[in-house]
C-alpha cells in the first residue's frame, strides 16, 4: 500500500517537528551557542576577506559613542583612557621636575586635559639629581 501525497506531507511535517523539538532542546541546554556561532562565523568571514582589523576599529568607534551616552559608559571610557595613558603616567610619576614642567607645557600647548592619574603623577615631588 502506497501513501498519498497528502499522507507523505503529513509524515514529513511530523518528523520535521520532532527534529525541531530536539534541536530546541539541545539549544536550550546551551543558550548562547547560536549567538557565539554567528559571532565566530562573522569573525572568520571578516578575517578571510582581510577586513577584521577595520571592522574592529569600526565597532570600537560605535561602542565608544554608545558608552558615552550614559554615566557608567562614560566612567568606563575614562578608565580605558587612564589605562591607555598608564605608561606615560608611571614615567611622569618618577620623572625629574624639568620633564614634568615640559609635559605640562605640552598639554597647555595642545589644549589637552591631563587625566586624573596624570595630574596626580605631576604632583608627586620629583627626585632630582638621580
- Cα–Cα distances in angstroms (integers) from residue 29 to residues 23, 33, 39, 52, in the given order: 10, 9, 19, 31
Cβ proximity of 100 and 92 under 8 Å: yes
Q: Is the pLDDT of residue 64 over 70?
A: yes
Judge contact between 119 and 89, C-beta under 8 A.
no
Q: State the pLDDT at residue 129.
A: 63
Among residues of the chain, what percentage have pLDDT more than 90? 72
Model confidence band, residue 2 (pLDDT cutoffs 50, 70, 90): confident
Residue 112 falls within a domain, yes or no? yes
> Above 90 in pLDDT, residue 103?
yes
pLDDT greater than 70 at residue 24: yes
Mean pLDDT, rounded, for 49-53? 91
Residue 46 belongs to some domain of the structure: no
Q: Is pTM beyond 0.85 here?
A: no
Judged against a pLDDT cut of 60, whether residue 38 lies above it is answered with: yes
Position 42 in a domain:
no
Q: Residue 89: pLDDT band by 50, 70, 90 thresholds?
A: very high
Distance between CA 122 and CA 108 in Å, rounded?
14
Give the pLDDT of residue 62.
Answer: 86
Q: How many domains does the chain have?
A: 1
Gyration radius of the chain's alpha carbons:
29
* Residue 93: inside a domain: yes
Return d(Cα 63, Cα 77) in angstroms, integer. 10
**Domain annotation covers residue 56:** no
110 located within any domain: yes
Domain residue limits at 130: 72-130
> Does residue 103 sit within a domain?
yes
Chain mean position to CA 119: 27
Do the domain assignments include residue 45?
A: no
Amino acid at each position: 500500500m502506497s501513501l498519498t501525497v497528502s499522507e507523505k506531507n503529513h509524515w514529513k511535517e511530523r518528523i520535521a517537528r520532532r527534529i525541531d523539538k530536539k534541536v530546541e532542546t539541545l539549544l536550550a541546554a546551551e543558550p548562547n551557542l547560536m549567538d557565539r556561532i554567528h559571532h565566530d562565523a562573522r569573525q572568520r568571514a571578516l578575517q578571510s576577506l582581510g577586513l577584521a582589523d577595520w571592522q574592529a576599529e569600526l565597532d570600537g568607534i560605535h561602542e565608544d559613542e554608545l558608552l558615552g551616552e550614559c554615566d557608567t559608559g562614560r566612567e568606563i571610557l575614562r578608565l580605558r583612557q587612564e589605562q591607555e595613558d598608564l605608561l606615560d603616567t608611571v614615567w611622569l610619576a618618577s620623572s625629574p621636575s624639568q620633564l614634568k614642567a615640559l609635559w605640562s607645557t605640552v598639554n597647555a600647548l595642545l589644549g589637552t586635559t591631563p587625566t586624573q592619574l596624570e595630574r596626580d603623577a605631576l604632583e608627586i615631588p620629583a627626585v632630582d639629581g638621580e
